[in-house]
Structure 1
Amino acid sequence: MSQDALQESTLSDRFAVFTSQNIRVKYNTGNIREVKSYRIGELFSAYRDILWDDGRHKYNVSSFIGEIDEILLGERFSTFDQGTLDNLVGTLRQRGNSNATINRKMAALSKLLRKAQKMGDIHSLPEFRRQKERAGRIRFLEKDEEARLFAAIRSRSEDAYRLSVFLVDTGCRLGEALGLIWNDLQPMRVSFWITKSGRSRTIPLTQRARDTVAFSGEGRRPKGPFVMLNQPQFRQIWNEAKQEVGLGADDQVVPHILRHTCASRLVQGGIDIRRVQMWLGHQTLQMTMRYAHLATNDLDSCVVVLETRPVESTNAAAVSPLEAAAPAVVKARKPRAKKASTAVGEKKRA
């Protein structure tokens, strides 16, 4: 065997030994998971306490998810495709849901599915497109409506009356007021810690609102100014009172109208939108802009510009601005013509 052949054979043998002894193929089966399918209701049971705090919002979300699970007929799935989502939106619209209501339900579903995907339960998600919402008319209480309604509430419950006054003068949500404790109240201000957006805010109190939270000192002081009430009790008193004063047929006269009333009065009183946003605790300025159309005083200066003012004239009849300007144009041109003719005459004499 030649020297070259011997060397080639030796290298080949060494390479074979190297590949057989030093290279190991490993198969890791620890990350392989069985693909499972879930119902929407099962996912909600698994993650509801992680994603949503206890309260009315969580109750509403539970209702939304229950309806969605019912529409899907309890179907189990490991992927949620675009067709399923489109059919779901179409069914909700056929049931009479407005675009605003559909957006709220889809927001809850999207939040749940994104959590499930992050945890590995769902492997693909559709694109959630926000439905276009129309700016609806905002209903607020006139002064006389407030007086009649509050009188009817007071005849039924002094505590419900105090709460109503506090709501309309602070613009807070019903749940925010009911959750107040005495530590949240200062002599001239109130701090809301339990809010829908999760952001606390502090606002000053009107004299009327301060009177509603003043503790009389009789008996044992409760935990907060309105803890003796809950939402169902207050709503029942509210509905009975509005029926008594002739507002029973108006489905927009609900406790939340007091928040709209407060915001409307602030804007109509000349408070700028940014401050109203801070007062109400809105997350985005867009939410507060619903009240911007009430700030009509900002447009008053436009009328001054558009008012027609007749031009003064020596004649008895009024002269239009165009007619008044015409003679001035003619006079301005005559001197130029006279100068030109004089120059021509001098040239001829020369």
Structure 2
Amino acid sequence: MSAIQYNTFVYSLNSWSNNAHINLVKENSLRLLFEKYSDILWENGTHKYNVTSFIGEIDEILLGRKFSTFSQETLDEVIGKLRERGNSNATINRKMAALQKLLRKAFKMGDIHSLPEFRRQKERAGRLRILTREEEDRLFAAIGEMSREALALSVFLVDTGCRLGEAIGLKWSDVADSRVTFWITKSGRSRTVPLTARACGVICEQRRHQRGPFRHIAQHRYRAIWNEAKSGTGFVNDKDLVPHALRHTCASRLVQGGIDIRRVQMWLGHQTLQMTMRYAHLATTDLDKCVAVLEHRS
């Protein structure tokens, strides 16, 4: 057998082997893959609830169709449909992150034999809505009139800078010695931050709840109270004033108070410094302290 004939034979054999493998892969829908791997990939909690919704929506877009390969054309189809439904690029990126994680697991386990290339959609830099002290007082007073529980959660959010889901997911074992540890986070990395006296106070008020300080509060209920408080305090048309603004407010106060960006990154639990740099323009421009450092002699 000549070298050319041998190479042709090997190529044909490999092609046959690959095609045989493809034929052996059982077709699955996204729903079936999610049922198979969701408990392995995501812990129970708010994030898993959101991921369940994301995968369910994508499966609906695909009409529940089964597949052994998830092609680039299929991915482009999904992204196009999501955009038609009014999803922003930031929202599409969150949904694609969940889809990518699921498909990677399915590929690793041999449930599908190829993966598309996921490209992050360019996100617009949103406005950082930051509450002044006066706005906070006004809004929190209105929230407190409707629910002391919602007020306690609001105070905790602005004084810790944590995400709403992180606060609601806390257990009592996560709070100790005037510090709180967030184990289930967006980045997957836990972090521990000290509590202000005000945050310690609201935590103490919540001790009557057995599972955790805020686990009895439903996110949708809190958001409803928030929106009602906005309406009663003149913020009804302020679309940027959402509960997440409390996280922005916490970050801005740290930066304006002279805390360096790296520490703010650690406090917020950002994966990259670039995410924290959104607040850098708020840093003090007082450079007189620099002279004092340079002139100091030991």
The aligned counterpart of 1:78 is 68
Q: Secondary structure at the match of 2:285?
A: helix
CA deviation profile, 1:121-172 (whole Å, cap 9, x unmatched): 1111111111222222111212111111100111122222122111111111
**What residue identity is the alignment partner of 1:158?**
R
Aligned residues: 269
1:51 to 41, 46, 49: 41
1:165 to 142, 155, 158: 155
TM-score by length of 1: 0.70
User: Matched residues in 2 for 1:230 and 1:68: separation?
Assistant: 25
The aligned counterpart of 1:341 is none
The aligned counterpart of 2:12 is none
Q: Secondary structure at the match of 1:213?
A: helix
1:239 and 2:213 aligned = no
1:249 to 213, 228, 237: 237
1:195 and 2:185 aligned = yes
1:99 and 2:96 aligned = no
User: Matched residues in 2 for 1:182 and 1:75: separation?
Assistant: 44
Q: Which moved more, 1:189-198 or 1:150-159?
A: 189-198
The aligned counterpart of 1:297 is 285
The aligned counterpart of 1:6 is none
User: Matched residues in 2 for 1:216 and 1:233: separation?
Assistant: 17
User: Matched residues in 1 for 2:79 and 2:209: separation?
Assistant: 50
Q: Secondary structure at the match of 2:236?
A: coil
Show structure 2 runs of 5+ residues with no match.
1-19, 290-298
Aligned identity (percent) is 70
Kindly state the Cα deviation for residue 215 of structure 1 after the two structures are TM-superposed.
4.8
CA deviation profile, 1:239-287 (whole Å, cap 9, x unmatched): 2211111222223222221111101111122211110011111222222
The answer to whether the 8 Å contact 2:25/2:110 transfers is no
> 1:52-201 alignment to 2 at 5 Å?
52-201=42-191
Q: Secondary structure at the match of 2:143?
A: helix
**What residue identity is the alignment partner of 1:44?**
F
Aligned-residue Cα RMSD (Å) equals 2.5
Q: Which has the higher contact order (CA 8 A, sep 6+)?
A: 2
1:40 and 2:40 aligned = no
Show structure 1 runs of 5+ residues with no match.
1-30, 302-350
Q: Secondary structure at the match of 2:192?
A: strand
TM-score by length of 2: 0.81
